[in-house]
Amino acid sequence: MDLSAPGVQLLGAHPGFATGTARWSGTSFSAALVSGACALVLDLSPSLEPGALQQAIEDAAVDV
């Protein structure tokens, strides 16, 4: 495995709480974050091929 996005205790919007936010966990949440990261990278470099996009995301990742 080269990269993972576990999505544990992510802060997200929730209108049912006084703070307007709630903490969530699960791959559904991490998938949205990875998709957003891909969109941001492609906005800066729209001609990136899939392999180069993956490499850019991996290069920016933090080893935890």
27 within 8 A of 19, measured Cβ to Cβ: no
Nearest residue to 7 (alpha-carbon basis) of 35, 46, 43: 35
- For residue 3, pLDDT over 90 is answered with no
41 within 8 A of 57, measured Cβ to Cβ: yes
31 membership: H or E segment, kind and range: helix 27-44
Count of C-beta atoms within a 10 Å radius of residue 7: 17
For residues 43 and 62, the model is more confident at 43
For residues 45 and 12, the model is more confident at 45
7 within 8 A of 33, measured Cβ to Cβ: yes
